[in-house]
Structure formats: C-alpha cells, structure tokens
Amino acid sequence: MKILVVCTGNTCRSPMAEGILKYLADKKNLNIKVRSAGIMAFVGDSASDNSVSILKDMGIDISNHRSSLVNDYMVDESDIILTMTSSHKDILIKRFANARNKTFLYNEYAYGKYTDISDPFGGNIYRYEKTRDEIYKASEAIIEKIANK
C-alpha cells in the first residue's frame, strides 16, 4: 500500500506524519510505503527544526527529509491520500481529478471525523508537541485500520 500525506509547505505536519506512519508500520511489519508533499511547497526544504527535534525524542529520524510539491505522479501512484486540512483536500480534488475517491482528511480516515490537524508553523515547541501528539494518535488508528483490512 502506498500512502501520500499532504499539508501546505511539507516542512511540519506532513513530514511528521510520514515519519510516524513509517515508524508504526515498521513496528507491525506492514508493507506500507509513505511519502509526503505540500500543495505550496518549495522543493528541497528541510523539515522544521522543531519537527525534527520532537520526533527525534521519540526515536523517529526525519532529519533527511526534503520537501516536495505534490504532483500527478504522486497522486497516481498513491492508494490513499491523507490531508491535514479540508482546504488541502479540496485543492487536491480540484487539481487532480483522480484524487477524488482516495483523498481523506487525516482525522477522517483515522476516526471518521471531519476535523483538521492543527498547524504548528511559527509556533513554539509546545505547539509542535501538541500537533505531533495529535498526528501520532491518529496515525495509530490509521495503522490499525490498515492492519485489519
């Protein structure tokens, strides 16, 4: 299974989600490939220092992450596309016709809830930790859902 995680700049939320999903999938020996991208990303940016730091505390290394701009190839090859906000979802569906039936909000896929993942960009470390914890909890539900299919 191939999962694409999408946020705005691909430096905070989606790299954290990518790292966490990979970590949890590896723990369960699931054959899941995860990548992330942004709808307005500058190609080649590193993950934010706070994102790298708070995942490192959990044993998850995203220090080699480089941002990508979502493109047709990524959408085509993905089985599931998970977005951080409803606006990300709307933009993807408008921009990529084949995204419609496989694009979900992160919390929608995890819990059936149509709620956004908060954006820590520009916030302090505690805001990043809150977002990380939100993503981690939803990621556990996502991995369980996939494992039980």
Give the domain CATH number at 46. 3.40.50.2300
Domain that holds residue 21: 2-147
Q: How far is CA 19 from CA 29, 37, 52, 117, in A?
A: 15, 13, 10, 16
pLDDT string in tens for the chain (149-residue length): 999 999 999 999 999 999 999 999 999 999 999 999 999 999 999 999 999 999 999 999 999 999 999 999 999 999 999 999 999 999 999 999 999 999 999 999 999 999 999 999 999 999 999 999 999 999 999 999 999 98
Active-site residue (options: 7, 12, 35, 132): 7
In the beta sheet, which residues pair with residue 38?
7, 69
Assess whether 119 carries a catalytic annotation: yes
Active-site residue (options: 13, 35, 116, 132): 13
The tally of domains found in the chain comes to 1
Helix (H, G, I), strand (E, B) or coil at 24: helix
Name residue 58's amino acid: M
Q: How far apart are CA 89 and CA 104, in angstroms?
A: 7
Assess whether 132 carries a catalytic annotation: no
**38 touches 6 (CB < 8 A):** yes
Name residue 121's amino acid: F
Q: How far apart are CA 29 and CA 15, in angstroms?
A: 21
In the beta sheet, which residues pair with residue 104?
82
Active-site residue (options: 26, 100, 116, 119): 119
Residue carrying structure tokens 């054959």: 31
